[in-house]
Amino acid sequence: MSKITKESILNMAQDLDVKFIKLQFTDVFGTTKNVAIPVQQLEKALDGDIMFDGSSIEGFVRIEESDMYLRPDVNTFSLIPWQSEYGNVARLICDVYSPDGKPFEGSPRNILKKVIKEAEEKGFSMNAGPEAEFYLFERDMDDMPTTNSKDHGGYFDLSPVDLGDEVRRAMVTALQSMGFEIEASHHEVGEGQHEIDFKYADALTTADNVVTFKFVVRKIAMQYGLHASFMPKPLFGKAGSGMHTHQSLFKGRNTNAFYDENAKYQLSRTAMHYIGGLLDHARGFTAITNPLINSYKRLVPGYEAPVYIAWSEKNRSPLVRIPARRGLGTRAELRNPDPACNPYLALAVTLRAGLDGIKKRTDPGDPVNLNIYHLTEKQKKDLNIKSLPANLSEALDELEADDVIRSALGPHVYENFMTAKRIEWDDYRTQVHQWEIDQYLSVI
């Protein structure tokens, strides 16, 4: 495979008749930002000479420190697969640098790269595969999103019941044109709920892919007059949307560090300690993997939500499940993340949690192969099965108390994330919601 260089990017842009380039990056909260440049500025961009105002991005820097530089990752060059009347458009995902030439500590992509390097120093590389769910909703006469859907399909249903089938095919085709290897697409449990699965990759590529995936899904939905929502719980009483994330560590390209043919469950000590780290820090990283107030409307005990801090190599009721495949495919499935998370930060904190488990040789305990959803509170207590935080405020308290997860984020991201989320919680808790009016106004 030939190495991608500055010159090869310039040649590809010319061959593809690209007119504009979107230089993409994400803020602390996972929102995709971009600086668009004409193709004539591409060489300058590839040299890392494109600046932007960092003070205009929430969670970045103050106005007196505003100059930031974008350094494109040449491996992320891709043609955007929809027509523009002004010509073809390509994109490059960028790292953010400070004027002193150092990686900006407030850039989520830089945070993930830092933790990846820590893993590499221990001889590991991380592979990850997410399963992001989303809803397709109608738009109203003013083109605003609603929560209405004419789709009455269920899990794995087909057309004509699954009205999103054609839209999913368009999404898959667009993603494939951008280099995704799509493994499956199907209707999910909820009416109007869907899932498109793409092949696992190294952690950085996977985070880039999640950002691209959400960008493409939303755009294609708009072309069909629909709104694609990655909100964790958009509908009361209906299935929430998760982003189960499969994780494994490799030594070299072909040795899965989680697999040991002769060990119990064929899981290596590395795998067991990694699982132990995930469980040990689960409450600490939940604010990152589930960052919205709405996230905790999905993480509710009794609704088959992945809230119980335990693991199993058989069933899906605990937080961590070990799928049946062994050998190169041995992996741990972390089931609580939702698609509203910043994928760079989510992978960074879960990888750091697993590495901490390996460092401390954390014992995950015995697998819980019972259906935890059917256990009584006493049975869960006897088995020492704890739950994830019940709301965002509690999750932020747990993050504050977890030095390992805080250090993975670094002081800049941690402080800006906490400040914004505490404000979000205070704004929510002081509002009077319609439920309260309906419940109390006429009787109190």
Local structure of residue 264 (DSSP, 8 states)? G
CA angle, residues 126, 93, 232, in degrees to nearest 5: 65
Q: Which of 244, 273, 281, 321 is catalytic?
A: 244
For residue 314, the model assigns a pLDDT of 81
What is the spatial distance between Cα 394 and Cα 413, in angstroms, rounded to a whole number? 19
Percent of the chain with pLDDT over 90: 76
Q: Which of 27, 109, 133, 298 is catalytic?
A: 133
Residue with the bigger pLDDT between 375 and 322: it is 322
Distant-in-sequence contacts of 223-226, Cβ < 8 A, 24+ apart:
223/82, 223/170, 224/166, 224/167, 224/170, 225/138, 225/139, 226/136, 226/137, 226/138, 226/139, 226/167
Residue 315's pLDDT band (cuts 50, 70, 90): confident
pLDDT above 90 (res 99): no
What is the spatial distance between Cα 345 and Cα 112, in angstroms, rounded to a whole number? 6
Q: Which of 283, 298, 335, 406 is catalytic?
A: 335
pLDDT above 70 (res 161): no
Q: Which of 61-70, 179-188, 244-253, 375-384 is the most confident on average? A: 244-253
What is the spatial distance between Cα 135 and Cα 148, in angstroms, rounded to a whole number? 10
131 is catalytic: yes
Residues of 387-410 as b/e, b for ≥16 C-beta within 10 angstroms? bbbebbbbbbebbeebebbbebbe
Residue 187's pLDDT band (cuts 50, 70, 90): confident
Burial of 145 (0-12, 13-18, 19+ CB in 10 A): middle
331 is catalytic: no
The encoded tokens of residue 404 equal 């390992």
Mean pLDDT, range 407-416, rounded to an integer: 95
For residue 85, the model assigns a pLDDT of 81
Q: Which of 165, 188, 260, 356 is catalytic?
A: 188
How many CA atoms lie less than 13 Å away from 102 in the CB half-sphere? 6
Q: Which amino acid is at 101?
A: G
Q: Which of 195, 280, 398, 402 is catalytic?
A: 195
138 is catalytic: no
pLDDT above 80 (res 157): no
53 is catalytic: yes
pLDDT above 80 (res 1): no
Q: H or E element: which one contains 34?
A: strand 32-38
Q: Are 112 and 93 in contact (CB under 8 A)?
A: no
pLDDT above 50 (res 108): yes
DSSP string, 84-138: -TT-EEEEEEEEEE-TTSSBPTT-HHHHHHHHHHHHHHTT-EEEEEEEEEEEEEE
What Å distances lie between residue 241 and 24, 135, 250, 362, CA to CA?
Answer: 25, 8, 29, 30
pLDDT above 50 (res 143): yes
Residue with the bigger pLDDT between 113 and 157: it is 113
What is the spatial distance between Cα 218 and Cα 242, in angstroms, rounded to a whole number? 17
pLDDT above 70 (res 163): no
Q: Are 31 and 343 in contact (CB under 8 A)?
A: no
398 is catalytic: no
Bridge-based pairing of strands 125-138 and 67-72 is unpaired
What is the spatial distance between Cα 41 and Cα 43, in angstroms, rounded to a whole number? 6
Question: Sign of the C-alpha dihedral, residues 53, 58, 61, 64?
Answer: positive
7 is catalytic: no
pLDDT above 70 (res 200): yes
Mean pLDDT, range 292-319, rounded to an integer: 90
Residue 156's pLDDT band (cuts 50, 70, 90): very low
**Other beta carbons less than 10 A from residue 58's beta carbon:** 12
The encoded tokens of residue 311 equal 């693991």
**Shortest CA distance to 188 belongs to which of 156, 150, 233, 166?**
156
Mean pLDDT, range 318-322, rounded to an integer: 96
What is the spatial distance between Cα 441 and Cα 244, in angstroms, rounded to a whole number? 40
Q: Which amino acid is at 26?
A: T
Coil, strand, or helix at residue 152?
coil
Local structure of residue 24 (DSSP, 8 states)? E
Q: What is the pLDDT of residues 256-274, one digit of tens each?
A: 999 999 999 999 999 999 9
For residue 297, the model assigns a pLDDT of 96
What is the spatial distance between Cα 343 and Cα 340, in angstroms, rounded to a whole number? 9
DSSP string, 188-248: -SSTTEEEEEE--EEHHHHHHHHHHHHHHHHHHHHHTTEEEE--S--STTSPPP-EEEEEE
For residue 319, the model assigns a pLDDT of 96
Bridge-based pairing of strands 125-138 and 226-229 is antiparallel
133 is catalytic: yes
335 is catalytic: yes
Q: Which of 27, 71, 91, 131 is catalytic?
A: 131
For residue 59, the model assigns a pLDDT of 65
412 is catalytic: no
Q: Which of 260, 333, 338, 356 is catalytic?
A: 333
Q: Which of 17, 47, 49, 53 is catalytic?
A: 53
For residue 62, the model assigns a pLDDT of 56
